[in-house]
Amino acid sequence: QAKSEGKNRYVVHSSELLNVMMDEYMLEVDLRRALDNDEFVLHYQPQINNNTGKLVGFEALIRWQHPTLGLIPPGKFIKLAEENGLITQIGEWVINEACSQNKKWQDAGMTPVKMSVNLSTQQFLTRDLLAFMEDMLERTAIDPAYVVVEITEYMAMEYEYSIQVLEQLKALGIGISIDDFGTGYSSLNYLKNFPIDYIKIDKSFVSEIMNNEKDAIIVNAIITLAHNLRKEVIAEGVETQEQLDFLKSHHCDISQGYYFSKPLPADEIEKIYLEQH
């Protein structure tokens, strides 16, 4: 009895593993075609100034509209794209799309706001990133003052090179944000030596500020530190009025999260913000 159960379990597991491997393989095949087939879409999440309550920016977040599997979130394919090298091309598509969209909105009369895009490590370390950015600015005619790149602490591993790239992006007029702050290989050195404009407090801290005193203390300390270094603070994952009140009372500058809006496709953003104007 026990023996046959064990055997069955083994069989089940090995076929499950095979399924997972097949799924991943198929997904990779599909991913290679997704760019050509125009299957990626961006959703935009509003960023709100905590003092004025006004919209000050969007974060562009990629989704994959798969022909049979439906809308796939980035958590399910970005890692794969990093492993097979497709991420650079996908990332370039994201930057182009997000910045052209922002320019279109500005031309249509929306109050100009910043557009943040997430950079992958590989994309950041690619030698052509700067040339690509210069070209993109020219092509889309977007004012670089409305472009922000979000990097993570992982990217700062190639220390000297990273500083150089960031300085050059800054020289182009592009803003720099450090994403998911506090979760990676955080080093206060980055804050000291990198030309960063914004610090984004990771949502894992924000979601606990009302329940866990330690998270509240950490969030408060990050805000104070950032302000003393003349950087602005963005809280991600703000979901409740209580969290927002806490952040406001601790002078956090900008909030982003489901409390205001989930990430939305361009046409829904237009319904809200073009009409408001």
Binding site for ligand C2E (CB under 6 A): 45, 61-62, 73-75, 78, 91, 94, 118, 120, 150, 179-180, 203, 236-239, 257-258, 263
- In terms of CB distance, is 142 or 148 closer to Mg ion? 148
Q: Which does 263 bind (CB under 5 to 8 A by kind): Mg ion, ligand C2E, none?
A: ligand C2E
> By beta-carbon distance, which residue lies closest to ligand C2E?
257
3-class secondary structure for the chain? CHHHHHHHHHHHHHHHHHHHHHHHHHHHHHHHHHCCCCCEEEEEEEEEECCCCCEEEEEEEEEEEECCCEEECHHHCHHHHHHCCCHHHHHHHHHHHHHHHHHHHHHCCCCCCEEEEECCHHHHHCCCHHHHHHHHHHHHCCCHHHEEEEECHHHHHCHHHHHHHHHHHHHHCCEEEEEEECCCCCCHHHHHHCCCCEEEECHHHHCCCCCCHHHHHHHHHHHHHHHHCCCEEEECCCCCHHHHHHHHHCCCCEECCCCCCCCEEHHHHHHHHHHHC
Residue 215 in contact with Mg ion, rule: CB under 5 A: no
x/- track of binding to Mg ion for residues 227-246 (CB under 5 A): ---------x----------
Q: Which does 50 bind (CB under 5 to 8 A by kind): Mg ion, ligand C2E, none?
A: none
Q: What residues from 125 to 164 belong to the interface with Mg ion (CB under 5 A)?
A: 150
Q: Which does 91 bind (CB under 5 to 8 A by kind): ligand C2E, Mg ion, none?
A: ligand C2E
- In terms of CB distance, is 105 or 181 closer to Mg ion? 181
Choose which of 97, 153, 180, 215 interacts with Mg ion (CB under 5 A): 180
Beta carbon of residue 206, minimum distance to ligand C2E (angstroms, whole number): 8
- In terms of CB distance, is 179 or 232 closer to ligand C2E? 179
Beta carbon of residue 11, minimum distance to ligand C2E (angstroms, whole number): 35
Specify which residues 233 forms β-bridges with: 199
Residue 179 in contact with Mg ion, rule: CB under 5 A: yes
Q: Which does 74 bind (CB under 5 to 8 A by kind): ligand C2E, Mg ion, none?
A: ligand C2E
Give the residues lining the site for Mg ion (CB under 5 A): 118, 150, 179-180, 236
